[in-house]
Amino acid sequence: MFTAGLAAFAALHGCAPAPRSRAGVEKVILTFDPSVRYQTIEGWGGILNNAHWIDGGAGPKTPWPDELEQQMLAEVVNDLGLNRFRITLFPSLIEPVNDNADPFDLNPAGFDFSKVDPYTRELILPARDLLRQRGERFVFSVKAITHAPKGAGAPSLTRDHAEEYAEFAIAALTHFRRQGLEVDYWVIQNEPDLAASRGQPWSPGKLAHFAERLGARLRAEGFATRIGAPETVTPQSVSKWMGILAATPRVQQYLGLLTYHSYDFDPTAGDRPLREGRAQVAQWSRVLQLPVAQTEQSTAGRSNRHRWNGEDHRQSLDLAENLMADLLYADASAWELHSIFGDPNREPAPSRGPRAAPDEEQSEARNGSCFIFFGKDYQGLWKPVYYWTLRQFMRYVRPGAVRVGLTASVNSPVQAAGFLSAQDRPVMVLFNPTAATVEVAVIGLPGGEYHVSRSAAAGPGEELAPRRLPPGQLLSLSVPGESVVTVRAP
């Protein structure tokens, strides 16, 4: 263990020499500095899949037992720590024919939410209730996809006309409100940059126009829902879209969340998360005073799908590195995987392909893009290896925590994020992607008891014996290779 004299030296000089262990390995010294503050954490989540789109019926026809569905929700809320739940709506499925010729005269009979209602009843409301029991806020988001799934009506109503789009959004928000749900964030179009590249009429100017019209209608109708944008495929694309959004009069007042997806690298090809694009996202966050959310990460293993299947521990390392990059460089307040749960028992129709809408969310189950899965033949639940790695962040860094300074005195192989919880208790997440154990000592922590947990390739996360830190001392610990270690004051 480091000596008190070294701690005094570090405190005096703001750094420390790099002492070596008996094997000659450099020890990493981290300085925890709560006076340096960054983003406030809003939480963790993903999309709640709507299997009723696939069933084609209004009733609860999902093949899994209701009790297994509720067990799944309890696991992701109470054990993993999710609090953000998003749904996807296809306007052309809900309003295949225009309700009437006047977008300012909403005809409720022209909107069919019959396939959304069982989804709301079985998944969304129970998730909300579980969070209420924990005394935590349920964050509810809606994402629209304006292209039409096969045989599901013409998309032009909402894709090409801003006021018709706003009318659809008001109809959906009103329907959710009647069920006791208020939508926190509304994303106008999923990945508008990808849609534009595929010949769909989306551009930064069009997105800004839709945001302006939708925002005005939301306020006129008494909704506090804020708009999430630009929801681009990569963080590198954010600046192009946000530049126009920010320059459009009256749009900023309706924006509540700066959003992007993390499809900018393939870790199985040796790529690393790109800092520059994420730094630009953080800059926009500061300029516009908006929180940041990374709202979709999934099949990044394009070069090696076997690795990206939920069974290879290297995928855990991929996701941990991505999550760290979003926290440290983009100042993300929220982070989401593609989907909350998956069902490997189900396969999409061969004619529709692995990514065909509207079953694209279910197809993610075979790509390791969900937090948890139903087991074979619906016997229990299956947790992929990365469940435990992500749990090191999500279970212990709770909404309301503020990221604070945690810097290394040497070129550290360990990536580290420090936080103060909503109760002003220190929390640190340490990620070691290398194969070798790294010895770490932390300066600046107040004295007291610290709990340590870790997740490595060996299996589920484990709780280690609590540490008692005398005032003014360094906290020393070992971070095993290819692991995530969380240290927290209870």
pLDDT higher for 50 or 467? Answer: 467
Q: Considering only CA atoms, which of 316, 302, 280 is closest in space to residue 355?
A: 302
Enter the pTM of the model: 0.89
Please name each of the domains of the chain with its CATH number.
Answer: 4-40+401-488 (2.60.40.1180), 43-394 (3.20.20.80)
CB 182 within 8 A of CB 140: yes
Identify residue 421 by its one-letter amino acid code: S
pLDDT higher for 366 or 50? Answer: 50
The DSSP secondary-structure symbol of 350 reads G
Give me the pLDDT at residue 348, please: 47
Pairing between strand 381-382 and 292-294? Answer: unpaired
pLDDT band for position 26 (cuts 50, 70, 90): low
List 420's β-bridge partners, or say none. Answer: 402, 426
pLDDT one-digit tens code per residue, 81-129: 999 999 999 998 899 899 999 999 999 999 999 888 888 988 999 999 9
Which helix (H) or strand (E) element contains residue 35?
strand 28-40
Q: At what angle do helices 275-288 and 238-247 cross, to 10 degrees?
A: 20
3-class DSSP assignment, residue 231:
strand
Spatial separation of the C-alpha atoms in residues 42 and 402, rounded to whole Å: 10
Looking up tokens 């990460």, which residue turns up? 297
Pairing between strand 483-488 and 467-469? Answer: unpaired
pLDDT one-digit tens code per residue, 386-411: 999 999 999 999 999 999 999 998 78
3-class DSSP assignment, residue 90:
coil
Q: What percent of the chain has pLDDT over 90?
A: 68
